[in-house]
Structure formats: structure tokens, C-alpha cells
Amino acid sequence: MTLTSDPSPTVEAPSPGTVSSRPKLFAGLSGQNISLVGALVLVLVLFGVLNDNYLSLSNMQVIAEAATITGLLALVQTVVIICGGLDISVGSQAGVASVVSAMVFTSTGSNALLGMVVAVAVGLLVGVLNGLIIVYGRVNPTIATLAGLAAYKGLAQLLSNGRAQGYVLNDDVFVFLGRGKIAGLPVTVWILLVVAVTVHLLLRYTDIGRNIYAIGGNDTAARLAGININKYLVFVYALIGVVAAVAGILLTARTGSGQPTSGSEGLELKAITAAALGGAALKGGKGGIGGTLLAVALLGALENGLTVQGINSFWQNVAQGALLVVAVVIQQRRGGERAVGLPS
């Protein structure tokens, strides 16, 4: 797939300062990111006072490891939101990849690399399928991926008969991915950081990234400038499929088996919440990887704090829903949107 446009000028994103004025991942923190840092510090201090072990190094590593799968999905969710779309099926895609990686591993005589390659290929296929349905079927991204949420969840259950598949913790590769460390940090955290830096560089320093911002900001202007919007949309959803597959592989490595639904349930809500909290405008054209990572850290710290305090896990869903509403309200207010049904 060639992601090049006609040799006409590239459309810049609606807010140039957002696209190109910050050369580093967290340089020049925006007001929203400063708010996220403040909220994260508040959560850490609060639960640190309530539980002596909360701020221990071992618990910080637990928080980081638990947040990696959500973080991977939130990163690519940020990209698709910037492009003016949405993907509600990322959790189900991760579940399919998790099952496939484990089933191929066990059926080929414990070939971990083959299982991972097949899982990534399935993720790419699923992502491209989503993109084609949206582009050529002219289906709204929310509806298309909502259908994908159900379909891919059902596919994972059909492949696995609704049960966890295989056992991978007798394999060095899976054990290294799920439990290994490099320079004191879990391998899963390194994978998240590598993907985050890669996506950041793609968005900030390439024509592909600038055109993604332009499509989300004003697709009509982008089309008139010669940008092939269809190809970009298929590319973005393909990227989601690949990264969701990586998340599914890490889920398999962490849990020791392929998980059709139990490990991937609710990941789409977490990913969308983190992207919105991080500043990705749901109307498209605005967002960044730094804010998303801060939001992922905040969600992870909050979820862990509620858990160590023995608070009912259902309250975690309540907190996530409340944070999503707060993020959208802040976006609407900052964008000058009038209240629905009320005079401007």
C-alpha cells in the first residue's frame, strides 16, 4: 500500500503548534497535560497515604506492567481519533490474536515465533477489513467497529470454544515477553515505550503523520490538496490491527494461555478513555502521544489504588466512565461548543 499523495502542497493540521512545535515527547506540556500530571500526583499521594506499600518499587512495576496492554491500544486509538475515526473493536481484536497465538503455538510443537507471526498477520487482516468496510462500505466508523466488537469477540469464542487455550509458560520466548526484564524494567514496558516513540515520530515528523492530522481536521480540504483519504484510513485501521495483535500476544504471555474474552473485556473503553483524557479531540485533528501516556498512567494508578484498598472492582468501571465524561466535557468547553438544545 503506497501512502503518498499527488505532488500538491500538504495540508497542515488545524493547530500547527500542536503538530510541529514540540520536538520532544513531553516538551512544552499543554494545560491538559499539566492537569493530568497534577491528577496523577494526587492519586499517587492519596493511595500512598492510605497504603504504605502503594508507592513501593515493586508496586510501581505492577502498575506499569498492568497498564501496558491498555497503553498499546490507547496509542493507536489516539491515531485513529486524530484521523477523525474511532475503533471500538480493539479489545476483541486483541482477544482473537491472543487465542490464535496460543493455538498456533500448541499445534506446531511449541513454535512461539510462528504463533506470534500468525497472530500479527490475523491482526493486520482484521484491521484492513475494518478499514475497507468503513471506506468502501461507507459505514460510520463507530457502527463498523461496534459490529467488529461483536464479530471478533464471537470469532475468538468460536476458535477457543469459549475457553482459555494452550499453555505457553513452558516456552522461554513467552516467559521473557510476559515476565522478563531489561535494565530493571519489564519487557512489556519497553515494548510500550518503543511503540509510543515510533508512533510519536510517525505523527510529528513524517508527511504521513501531518496528513493524518489534516484529514481529521478538515477532510474536505485534505481531499482537495490531493491526499488519498481512503488509503490513509485503511492504513490507520491496519495499524490498529497490528498493534492490537501485539497486545494480544502480550496478554497470552502474561496470563500463560490464549484468552478469548476474560483478559480483553473492557479494553476498548480503557483505550478510548485514555485517548480522550490525553487530549485527543473526538472530532479529529488534535491529540498527542505524550498526553495519552500520562492518561494511561493515571488510569493504571487509579485502578491499582482501588484494588489495593479492597474496593469493589465494579467501581473501577464507574471511575472510567466518569473520567471519559469529564474528558469530553472539557473538550467541549475548550472548543466553545454550546450546550445541546440550549441557545448559544
* pLDDT reading at 72 higher than 60: yes
Tell me what pLDDT residue 33 has: 80
What is the average pLDDT across 60-72? 92
Cell of 273: 478513555
Tell me what pLDDT residue 112 has: 93
* pLDDT reading at 14 higher than 90: no
pLDDT range class, residue 194, cuts 50, 70, 90: very high
- CA 289, CA 83: separation in Å to the nearest integer? 14
Residue range 16-39, pLDDT digits in tens: 444 444 444 444 456 678 888 988
**128, 230 Cβ separation under 8 angstroms:** no
| Domain 31-39+50-328 architecture | Orthogonal Bundle (1.10)
Tell me what pLDDT residue 166 has: 87
Among 141-145, 169-173, 319-323, the range scoring the smallest mean pLDDT is 319-323
pLDDT range class, residue 12, cuts 50, 70, 90: very low
- The mean pLDDT of the chain is 86
Specify burial of residue 251 (Cβ count, 10 A radius: 0-12, 13-18, 19+).
Answer: buried
Express as a percent the part of the chain with pLDDT over 70: 87
Q: How many CA within 13 A on the CB side of residue 195?
A: 28
* pLDDT reading at 5 higher than 60: no
**237, 127 Cβ separation under 8 angstroms:** yes
Among 36-40, 92-96, 135-139, 329-333, the range scoring the smallest mean pLDDT is 329-333
Residue with the three cell numbers 480503557: 270
Tell me what pLDDT residue 334 has: 67
Residue range 168-182, pLDDT digits in tens: 989 999 999 999 999
What is the average pLDDT across 71-97? 95
- CA 279, CA 237: separation in Å to the nearest integer? 20
Residue range 202-252, pLDDT digits in tens: 999 999 999 999 999 999 999 999 999 999 999 999 999 999 999 999 999
Residue with the three cell numbers 481529521: 216
**311, 337 Cβ separation under 8 angstroms:** no
- CA 18, CA 15: separation in Å to the nearest integer? 5
**194, 72 Cβ separation under 8 angstroms:** no
Residue range 325-337, pLDDT digits in tens: 877 787 677 666 6
Residue range 246-277, pLDDT digits in tens: 999 999 999 999 988 877 778 998 999 999 98
326 vs 189: which has the higher pLDDT? 189
Tell me what pLDDT residue 27 has: 44
Tell me what pLDDT residue 337 has: 60
Residue 341 Ramachandran class (φ > 0 left, ψ -120 to 50 alpha, else beta): left
* pLDDT reading at 344 higher than 70: no
Cell of 68: 501496558
Which string of DSSP letters, residue by residue, matches 59-116? HHHHHHHHHHHHHHHHHHHHHHHHTT---TTHHHHHHHHHHHHHHHHHHTTS-HHHHH
Cell of 134: 468503513
Q: Measured between alpha carbons, how far is residue 249 from residues 78, 101, 160, 193, 195 in Å?
A: 21, 6, 15, 16, 15
- CA 190, CA 182: separation in Å to the nearest integer? 8
338 vs 288: which has the higher pLDDT? 288
Tell me what pLDDT residue 323 has: 80
- What is the domain partition of the chain in residue ranges? 31-39+50-328
State the sign of the Cα–Cα–Cα–Cα dihedral 26, 32, 34, 35. Answer: negative
What is the average pLDDT across 305-321? 83
Question: Quick check: helix, strand or coil at residue 183?
Answer: coil
